[in-house]
Amino acid sequence: MKKIVFIGAGSMAEAVIAGIVKQGVIEPQQVYVMNKSDDERLISLQNKYGISIVCKNKEALKTADLVVLATKPKDIHQAMSDIRPLLTTQAAVLSVIAGVSIETIENGLGTRPVARSMPNTSATIGKSATGVAMNNAVDETLRKHVLGLLEAIGLVKEVEEDDLHAVTALSGSGPAYVYYLAEALEEAAIAKGISKDVARSLIIQTLEGAAAMMKETGTEPAELRKNVTSPNGTTEAGLKALEGRLFKEAIGECIDKATARSRELGAQS
Ligand SMILES: NC(=O)c1ccc[n+]([C@@H]2O[C@H](COP(=O)([O-])OP(=O)(O)OC[C@H]3O[C@@H](n4cnc5c(N)ncnc54)[C@H](OP(=O)(O)O)[C@@H]3O)[C@@H](O)[C@H]2O)c1
């Protein structure tokens, strides 16, 4: 992979650029970026990461091996019609745009290798949980390149394209559910007289510790839960309150609704 051109220079493009440059996945000079009009933003990315920029001169697209689509969904049709005449038939595409199908990209840019990913906001600190689906034109070499690029912003799992709706509901929106849980825990702790600072620190460490226990021990979450729950103890009392409020059903409905919304938005794009 000699040349990557980012179409869109926003926060998601920067997350990927930061990851690949910091981890040496590619030399900064091989990374080009363009946007619609914000020249200052391009210069700031160039100064920060040593990458090349493509302003009015879109010639760089003619020799691109990979184009990363990173605009908002509403801008992608315009962006694709702008760049299509400049791309070679070999140029591959990696999209990080939520809800835009591989078919839409093939229609907009012609039949070519396309990978469609769904990262999450933790990409900004290299901790995204990303799902990716690829079309049949992606060969093994390109597949490894794409996975390498996405691994620079966190963990990556390959899925069927249709499953990206559920992935969007789970890990795309997932950080918001965790923040909501953190908010609720913090409010409850403050109501019990714990200071905000102390509550915040304890919550962050509890979330990190629980995630690390699942990851490092490989033990089933249900088993880990049972290990913390002594009969008639405090945890059991707390969990019973959650069961009483149909916690699992609420989470199930949350994923159902978010998946359905992803399908609806996908049908509109
Ligand atoms: N942010 C996240 O955490 C996150 C998570 C998962 C997926 N995503 C996906 O990532 C995509 C980008 O999100 P973002 O937060 O990075 O958006 P953003 O900060 O608004 O950036 C969008 C970029 O697209 C550029 N653009 C618009 N029209 C263009 C065109 N015709 N040609 C070239 N560039 C064009 C904009 O340029 P100007 O500034 O010059 O207008 C801007 O640089 C979205 O589709 C979103 O679904 C984001």
Nearest residue (CA) to ligand 1, atom 38 = 36
235 Cα–ligand 1 center, Å? 44
The atom number, within ligand 1, closest to the CA of 97 reads 45
User: Is residue 142 domain-shared with residue 18, that is, in the same domain?
Assistant: yes
Residues belonging to the chain = 269
Q: Ligand 1 test: best mutation among 6, 34, 36, most atoms within 8 Å of CB?
A: 36
Boundary (domain end) residue, out of 112, 139, 160: 160
Answer whether residue 223 is part of any domain: yes
Q: Which domain holds residue 241?
A: 172-268
Nearest-angstrom CA–CA distance, 109 and 95: 12
Nearest atom of ligand 1 to the alpha carbon of 37: 40
**What local confidence, expressed as pLDDT, does residue 68 receive?**
98
Please state the rounded mean pLDDT for residues 238-257. Answer: 98
pLDDT tens track for 156-204? 999 999 999 999 999 999 999 999 999 999 999 999 999 999 999 999 9
Alpha helical stretches, state H, the chain? 11-22, 39-49, 76-83, 102-109, 140-151, 164-167, 174-191, 196-217, 221-228, 234-244, 247-268
Predicted TM-score (pTM) of the model is 0.94
Provide the CATH number for the domain around residue 233: 1.10.3730.10
pLDDT value of position 268: 80
Decide if 18 is inside a domain.
Answer: yes
Q: 136 and 12, same structural domain?
A: yes
Which CATH number fits the domain that encloses residue 62?
3.40.50.720
Give the three-state DSSP class for 96.
coil
Do 11 and 143 lie in a common domain? Answer: yes
pLDDT, tens only, 95-146:
999 989 999 999 999 999 999 999 999 999 999 999 999 999 999 999 999 9
Question: Are 38 and 153 in a shared domain?
Answer: yes
Is residue 114 one of the residues assigned to a domain? Answer: yes
Burial class (CB in 10 A: 0-12, 13-18, 19+), 200: middle
Six-digit token pair at 144? Answer: 């490894």
The pick from 5, 35, 101, 128 for probing ligand 1's pocket by mutation, whose C-beta has the most ligand atoms within 8 angstroms, reads 35
pLDDT-derived band at 269 (thresholds 50, 70, 90) equals confident
Question: What is the count of structural domains for the chain?
Answer: 2
Considering the domain architecture, whether residues 122 and 198 belong to the same structural domain is answered as: no
Q: Taking the chain, what is the end-to-end CA distance rounded to the nearest angstrom? A: 30
Please identify, by atom number, the ligand 1 atom nearest to the C-alpha of residue 121: 3
Taking alpha carbons only, the member of 10, 7, 13 closest to residue 153 is: 13
Question: Residue 56 above 80 pLDDT?
Answer: no
Same domain, 38 and 151: yes
If asked whether residues 24 and 101 sit together in one domain, one would say yes
In a shared domain, residues 201 and 89: no
225 and 190 assigned to the same domain:
yes
The alpha carbon of 208 and the centre of ligand 1 are apart by a number of angstroms equal to: 30
pLDDT grade for 60, boundaries at 50, 70 and 90: confident
Whether residues 114 and 237 share a domain: the answer is no
Residue 166 lies in a domain: no
